[in-house]
Amino acid sequence: MEANEKNLTPTEWRLMECLWEHAPRTGREAAEYMAASQGWSRSTTLTLLRRMTAKGFIECHEENGVKVFSPLIARTDAAVRETDSFLSRVYRGSVSTLLSAVTQRQSLTRQEIDELYEIIRQAEEVQRHDE
């Protein structure tokens, strides 16, 4: 299975956020960032960088003898894949069941309701064009 077909673990998400925020980063820069934001040791960050490079999530190359890391997948692509997986796993692919569950647990603001109406309106437009 290729990286673009895999979901990130919660730990991998944290490291990818570091790279999505600013890339490329050296191993040292990533380790310092993760130490400050997550309390990770240098060895934890470097080990995870190596593993995620092997999995195909991250690219590593050398510049002047220093390893530099960049994400190979965009945050939006990873988020869409994760959302699809969650929707399929938990709600059997039903967006309406998901929205029902969300709205039963918390009240939506007027802005959120308006945004949902706009999303539905856009989905209707797409469906009309596809028919």
- Examine the pLDDT at 1 and tell me if it is beyond 50: no
Q: What is the mean pLDDT of residues 34-60?
A: 97
Locate the domains of the chain by residue range.
Answer: 3-71, 94-131
Q: pLDDT for 117-127, tens place per residue?
A: 999 999 999 88
Local structure of 125: helix, strand or coil: helix
Span 58-65, average pLDDT: 95
What is the C-alpha separation between 22 and 36, in angstroms, rounded? Answer: 15
Query: What fold characterizes domain 3-71?
Result: Arc Repressor Mutant, subunit A (1.10.10)
Provide long-range contacts, Cβ within 8 A and 24+ apart, for 121-127.
none
